[in-house]
Chains A and B, each alone.
Chain A
């Protein structure tokens, strides 16, 4: 073949249609924003019900996670995500979807080797590096801030 790898890489780039940036960003903004607005509404709702701030925040997160798990189970979440992209991926609901969808998918391989082993196949790395990052930031904070403050 007369085409080199380098040359082909340029050809591939040219032939591959780019993602529709404006459309995708608009969808992501609208859906992501709506999910966050729902979270804000839930927070106020729980505050009105008499919960203290920290509990109300926790309750709204739990509700969003629960709704996301339910919608994943009903097959609605992936349908919305097809258009919403990062709008459904970034909020806490995306994390719930990333745990529930493999748990559903791999139930055919059993509760231990299927659901148990595969449940965190997508979310696992986020948890690992999220915890690791918080340890690093914690250490930095410990050393830069005066003791006892």
Chain B
């Protein structure tokens, strides 16, 4: 049985939004965010509240762009990196719409869009609002050390994006369209270094891509670009090498973790990471290019490292996952 799900009716991405923090605003995509906050606290008194507020701003932006009320949303799907995905849950605590919380670590954007697309295409719901968010400070204090602790980051470390993104999937619209999706399988090739997430997630990305190409008969060159979520510099190199061993040449690969920041001048070591990374790059960079028909056919695959601070301390290796969404400007 094929694991690639071909949607009977392609699903339109009718609107999208993204909100970023100060550092994201200074990056190459800074001008393309819907909103940038120079205050990473977003006017709140804790980092967790800040992330929720950032999500809310992205939520209200997408409603405004689409000119609809919250009640028009039939289901919201989304996730973040905080314990028990509280940032997203607390966002929808105040905006009472049906909500499905997802945890796929940094794969949240692709995971929510893949599920949302299935629900909409299958006629289960009329629309699905997908989201992903991450905040540098909430992730650092949960997974690493306090912000003011004087530590040196390793060259393989990645910088968690402070960003929230939404995309609205609907049955009708002028596109771009989601045509196929694939839910990833977990891959773990034994990486234990929590400061080398790209290396931990690359096998999952390679596995999903390999199976997608094998099952569909597609080739990488059939796409204008193949985007991964946050493999960073190290993970991107490894993805290509892993696929080469499977006789797949990846020539048009781009990683969102290498697009959102200027790696050298912004000192982000191996690149960016976090749920908000792929979400914001999709909304600020990829979808606008598709709307302008600069690119017409892409694969969007967000990767997640399914670890917790506890499993890291218990010396467990890091399982990775990669969910894939095929997006085209034309329905067929």
Contact = CB atoms under 8 A, between A and B. Distances in A.
A and B: partners? yes
Majority secondary structure of chain A interface residues (helix, strand, loop or mixed)? helix
B148 A1 contact: no
A1 B147 contact: no
Given A2-B245, A3-B245, A98 B149 contact: yes
B28 interface: no
A132 B310 CA distance: 25
Interface stretch (B18-26, B75-83, B234-242): B234-242
A104 interface: yes
B293 interface: no
Given A16-B199, A81-B152, A101 B206 contact: no
Given A9-B190, A104-B146, A1 B155 contact: no
A39 interface: no
Interface string B263-281: 0000100100000000000
Contact of A3 (B156, B191, B242, B270): B242
A98 B150 CA distance: 8
Interface residues of B, number: 37
Interface stretch (A17-25, A41-49, A54-62, A141-149): A17-25
A18 B145 contact: no
Contact of B203 (A3, A15, A75, A78): A3
Nearest to B156: A16
Contacts of A94: 150
B148 A97 contact: yes
B252 to A, nearest CB: 20
B156 A75 contact: no
Nearest to B200: A12
A77 B48 CA distance: 24
A72 B151 CA distance: 12
Contact of A17 (B47, B48, B156): B156
B261 to A, nearest CB: 16
B196 interface: yes
11 contacts: A1-B189, A1-B242, A3-B203, A12-B199, A16-B196, A19-B155, A78-B150, A89-B151, A97-B148, A97-B149, A102-B149
Interface of B: 45-48, 141, 145-156, 187, 189-191, 196, 199, 203, 206-207, 210, 233-234, 237-238, 241-242, 245-246, 267, 270
Interface of A: 1-3, 5, 8-9, 11-12, 15-20, 24, 72-73, 75, 77-78, 80-86, 88-89, 94, 97-98, 100-102, 104-106, 108, 122
